Amino acid sequence: MTVFISDSPAAGSSPSIVAVHSNAYGQWTALFTPKGLAGIWFPNDGNAPPCTEGENPLRTDRMDNWIRETFRTIDLMLTVPRTGHELTVPMDLGDATDFQRKVWEALLRIPAGEVRTYQEIGRDLNMPGASRAVGNACGRNPIPLLIPCHRVRRSDGSLGGFSAGIEWKKILLRLENSSGTQSAWETSSLNVTQPALL
């Protein structure tokens, strides 16, 4: 694990630090503020915040614990994805709307290995006509994977979108062995090596 000072306005005016972590899939980037985890970027994401190595007064024992727990949870979700890993790090969702927060809370209730449709999420929120708004909220999720928007698809069975790219969505659903994605790993064009399951 390497920790850097953020040079980026990605967290608005909040002071922040960026941490990077490499595993079998590549280098992951996470952004933290004093309130908690504020962003996750998948490997090779050109939108990950730029950073420079150095000292940062924000880097406390508590922050280091958040960083370790975040990357430990990511690694577990990618190697033993069906065992229900719950992130204990607080999340800083910034200026998210109430609706977005409700959608993201609904995503956290979807167990690994299961999927929901955008329409089902809307119905769960007593907004049955809000499928498009649910999809938009999923697309604005700042902490993909840990807030599992990859577990939501369209009512017609197609995968829909994913902020990290559709190939990552296929891989994650394949790892979690969700219905209809048995060949997702084989059909992915990403150049990553599938790690052995523990």
Catalytic machinery residues: 149
- Sign, CA dihedral 52-56-61-62, equals negative
Q: Are strands 26-33 and 152-153 parallel, antiparallel or unpaired?
A: unpaired
Residue 159 CB contacts under 8 Å (≥ 6 apart), including other chains: 153, 166, 169, 170, 173
* Residues with Cβ within 8 Å of residue 190, at least 6 apart in sequence: 167, 168, 171
CA–CA distance, 111 with 176 (Å, rounded to integer): 10
